[in-house]
A and B are shown apart, each in its own frame.
Chain A
Amino acid sequence: NAGVTQTPKFRVLKTGQSMTLLCAQDMNHEYMYWYRQDPGMGLRLIHYSVGEGTTAKGEVPDGYNVSRLKKQNFLLGLESAAPSQTSVYFCASSYSIRMTGKAFFGQGTRLTVV
């Protein structure tokens, strides 16, 4: 049982390049989230999904796109990377949005944009 798996774990991009971060969960969770974590700040929600085929904006969605074509996968795309997107990205999943249950986090993707 792998839980939540993120790939890649590390990546360096040049400004203007594009990439996709993959999040996969094997717990049959409906809800999936993408967060970014920056020094001195709490995790901030980029986008989330309440089920297969759905996506919604979080608090910092600009410059990112997402897709949830399969229930177990949630993809985060950067179309034209900027240095301000240098961060650690975390994917999470949960059984319900009310989340009196646990949210499970992946191990993170450290992205550097130069």
Chain B
Amino acid sequence: KNQVEQSPQSLIILEGKNCTLQCNYTVSPFSNLRWYKQDTGRGPVSLTIMTFSENTKSNGRYTATLDADTKQSSLHITASQLSDSASYICVVMSSGTYKYIFGTGTRLKVLA
């Protein structure tokens, strides 16, 4: 069964600190993996998109990594800001169905 699991479920960090969110997937065949940021009460917004051949992709203070062999991805946030408080959702697309499989997200709270 195609699944996307994220850890931790929730995380609290102090402003200025770094953090890393994890995503493990069992989706096959793999097409691409995305990280989305979802602010409370808003729709998800795309942060990064990675295909099979990409290991790292950055978007400002956000850096995503992908290990297609172990089917793991991580999202690293550098020098966190209060505005980083949100849910971060890992999404994997299966090339067989062209449908998205969503993780349940990691809820990040950044404290001053």
B43 touches A102 (CB 8 A): no
* Interface band, chain B: 20 to 34
A74 at the interface (CB under 8 A from B): no
Interface string of B16-53 (1 = CB under 8 A from A): 00000000000000011000000001111110010100
Q: Measured between alpha carbons, how far is A103 from B36 in the docked complex, in Å?
A: 10
Number of inter-chain CB pairs below 8 Å: 50
A50 → chain B, closest Cβ, in Å?
A: 9
Nearest to B51 among chain A residues (CB) is A100
B62 at the interface (CB under 8 A from A): no
A42 touches B46 (CB 8 A): no
Beyond A42-B89, A108-B41, whether A102 also contacts B102 by CB under 8 A is no
Nearest to B31 among chain A residues (CB) is A98
B98 touches A98 (CB 8 A): yes
A97 at the interface (CB under 8 A from B): yes
Beyond A99-B98, A100-B32, A100-B51, whether A42 also contacts B103 by CB under 8 A is yes
* Interface band, chain A: 20 to 34
**Interface positions of A (Cβ within 8 A of B):** 4, 35, 40-45, 58-59, 90, 92, 97-108
Q: Measured between alpha carbons, how far is A105 from B4 in the docked complex, in Å?
A: 20
Cross-interface CB contact of A42 among B31, B43, B51, B101, cutoff 8 Å? B101
Instruction: Please name 18 further chain A to chain B contacts, defined as beta carbons within 8 Å, in addition to the given A4-B43, A43-B44, A99-B100, sorted by A numbering.
Output: A35-B102, A40-B104, A42-B102, A43-B100, A58-B99, A59-B99, A90-B43, A90-B44, A92-B43, A97-B98, A98-B31, A98-B98, A99-B32, A99-B49, A100-B49, A102-B49, A105-B45, A108-B42
